[in-house]
Amino acid sequence: MMRNLQSSIAAKIAAFLLFLLFLAAALGGIVSILYVADEGYYSGTYSFFSSRKCSSITYSYSAAVFYDYLSLSLKQNPSAEDSFNLKQYQTEFAKENTNFFFTVTDESGKVILTNYAEQDFGTQKTYNIDPDGTQYGKAYIVNAYVKDPITAKDDYYAPYQLSLTLYSMRYSTIAITVLSAILSVLLFAFLMYSAGHRKGREGIVLNAADRIPFDLYAFGISVAGICSFFICSNIWNRADGIVVAIITCTLAVILSFLSITLCMTFSARVKAGKWWHNTVIYIVLKGIICLLLNLPLLLKTILIFASYILINGFLVILLMHSGAEILLLGFLFNMAVLSGLCFIVLQLNRLKLGGEKIAAGDYSCKIDAEKLFWDIKKHAETLNNIRLGMSKAVEERLKSERLKTELITNVSHDIKTPLTSIVSYVDLLKRESIKNENALKYIDVLDRQSAKLKKLTEDLVEASKASTGNISVKCGRMDVVEFLNQSVGEYAEHFAAGQLEVVVHTPQDETAIMADGRLMWRVFDNLLDNICKYSLPNTRVYFDIENIGGAVIITLKNISRVPLNITADELLERFMRGDNARTTEGSGLGLSIAKSLTELQMGSFDLFVDGDLFKVHVKFKRLENHKVSTLSRT
C-alpha cells in the first residue's frame, strides 16, 4: 500500500494540498493561542472589559468626547456645520446606539456633558485628559462606562463577539493546532519519503527539476520570495483590501509550492547520493582545484597569496567609501582565510605525526590519506609507500636473523653429539696408564680444546636464546646487596688468583628489585668471569650499588690488562673480545649475553670505556628506597 502511494502522483498532489491546509491551520492556531494566552483567556478571571482592546476603544471614545463633542457643546454661537456635527455626536452617543457612556465634570464636580443614565456597566475609567486646563481654560474630567452586556453595534461589538468566540474555543484551539501540526509533519514526511520514486521504476529516479544545480534552484526560489515580499509591501496601502488579499494569497501559494518542491528535490538528491556534486559552487570549486593541482607547488602558493592580497586591497578600497558592513565582510573573509590556514596546518601536523611514528619504527602506522587534500595527500601516500618498503625490509631482516639463530641452534646441537663423544673418550684416555710423555701432552691438549669447544657451543646456544628472547623469565623480589655479596664471594678465589683487590660499595639497608635470580646469576657470572680474565693484576675492582630516584644502578669497574683500542659498542657485538690478539680464553659472547639477559628482565645494560677503564652499568627499577650506605672492602 505504502509502496503504491509513494509512487502515485495523485497521492503526492493530495498530500501537498492537505499539507498546505494543515500547515496554515497550525500556524493560525499558534497565533491564536499566543494571542489568547497574552490576553489572559486561560486565567480564571478573564473578562473582555479588562482587556487591552476594551481599554483602547474606551480611551479613543473618551478622547473624541473631550476634544470634539465637548468642544462643540461649549460653543456659544455654533455655525451650521458645528450644529450638524453636534447632532451627529448626539446620535452616535445615544444610549440605543452605543455601549459607551460618559460624564464630563468640571473642577467643582459639576456635570457639563453626559449620556449616562444609571445603566449597568462592565468597567469604569476616569480620564483627566487635560489636567492643566490648556484646552478650555479649565480642567475637565471624563468618567467613562462600558455597557454590560454589549448590544449596540459600535466599535466594541466586533471585538466583544470575537473574544467570546475565542474564549469559548480556547481549549479546542490547542487540540486543533496540535492535530494540524502533527498531520502537517506527517504529510511533509510522506512528501519527503515519496520524493524520487516513480511508478513502475525501481530505485530513485531524478526528473528534470532534480537535475538543475541545487544552489541555483535555491537561489531562484529565494529571489522569488524576496520579490514577493516587496510586491506585497508596495501594494499594502495602495490597493483595495480584496486585491491585496488575492495577490498575497496567490504569492503565498506559489512560494509554498516552490518551497515544497525545493525540499522534495533535495530529498531525492540525498537519496540518490552525492547531492553536492550537482551544485554550481561544487563545479566551480572542482574546476579551480583541478587547475591548482596541476600547477607546481610554488606557483600555487604565489597565486593563492596574490589572490588574498588582491581581495584585501579591494575590501580596503570599498571600506574607504562605505560603512561598517564592509569592515565586517573583511573581518569574515580574513577569518575564513585563517580557518583555511589552520585546516592546512592540522593536516600537516597529522602528516608530521605519521612521519614521526614511521621514523620511530612503527611501520604498522598508516597515514589516512583519504582525509587529506592536494599535495599533502600525495606526500602522505609517498610516506605510506616508504613505510611499506621499510616494513618489507625489516621483515626480511627479521627473517634473516631468525635463519641465523636457527642455523646457530641447529649447528650447535649437531656439534654437541660428536663433542660429547670426544670429551668422553678423552676422559677415558686420561684414566689409562699411558707412559708416553708426548701422548700425555696430546691428551691434555685434547682435553683443553674439547672443553673450550664445549663452552663455545653452550655460549652460542645461550646467545641465540638470549637475543631472541627464547628464555623463560620468572621475576621475583631480589635483594641486590645480598645478591652482589654472594656473587663476589663466589669469585673470591678467582680474584685472589688474579691479584685483584675488590671494593664493594652498597647501601646498608635492603635494596630490592624485580628480577629472575637464575638469569641475574648468568649476567654477573659472565661479568665477573670477564673481570677475572682481562683485569690488570695488582689493581682494584669496584662494585657499587646506588639508589638514584626510582632506580637501582649496579656499577662494575676494573682496569684492563691490555689496551682497549675499541669502542663500547664494538665490545657488545658477538664474538668480540677486548684482547684483539685473541690470546686469552673466551668466545667473545659474554657481554652480548649479559646485555640480552638484562633487557629480558626489563633492565638496562650500558658499557663505558675510558682509556683502560672498563665500566658496566646494570640498571633496574627500584622497589624500595633506602638512603643509608656503607663502604666495605675485600
Cell of 477: 623480589
Region 119-125: mean pLDDT is 86
Burial-class residue 491 by CB neighbours within 10 Å (0-12, 13-18, 19+). buried
Using only C-alpha atoms, the chain has a radius of gyration, in whole angstroms, of 53
Pick the residue with more confidence: 604 or 356? 604
Predicted local confidence at residue 236, as pLDDT: 66
| pLDDT score, position 202 | 73
Mean confidence (pLDDT) of the chain: 78
> Is 60 exceeded by the pLDDT of residue 625?
no
Mean pLDDT comparison of 170-184, 255-269, 315-329, 498-512, highest-scoring range: 170-184
> Which pLDDT tens digit goes with each residue over 2-43?
566 666 778 888 888 888 888 888 888 888 888 788 777 777
Q: What residues pair up with 498 in beta bridges, in sequence order?
A: none
Locus of grid cell 678423552 = 426
Residue-wise pLDDT tens digits, 330-356: 777 778 877 877 877 777 777 777 777
Lowest mean pLDDT among 286-290, 367-371, 495-499: 367-371
Tens of pLDDT along 237-255? 665 556 666 777 777 778 8
pLDDT digits (tens, 9 = 90+) for 59-118: 999 999 888 888 888 888 888 888 898 899 889 888 888 999 999 998 888 888 898 887
Say how far residue 391 (Cα) sits from the centre of its chain.
Answer: 31
Q: What mean pLDDT is predicted for residues 271-292?
A: 81
pLDDT at 122 over 50: yes
Among 108, 94, 116, residue whose Cα is nearest residue 141: 108
- Residue 485 scores a pLDDT above 50: yes
How long, in residues, is the chain?
634
pLDDT digits (tens, 9 = 90+) for 587-597: 456 677 788 88
Element (H, E) at 387: helix 374-431
Q: What is the pLDDT of residues 394-443, one digit of tens each?
A: 777 777 666 666 666 666 666 666 767 777 777 777 777 777 777 777 77
Please report which confidence band the pLDDT of residue 630 belongs to, taking 50, 70 and 90 as the band edges: very low
Write out the H or E segment, with its range, that includes residue 54: helix 52-64
For residue 605, what pLDDT band results from cuts at 50, 70 and 90? confident
What is residue 631's predicted lDDT score, i.e. its pLDDT? Answer: 42
Whether 577 has a pLDDT exceeding 50, the answer reads no
What's the rounded Cα separation, in Å, for the pair 217 and 261? 10
Q: What is the spatial distance between Cα 305 and Cα 216, in angstroms, rounded to a whole number?
A: 29
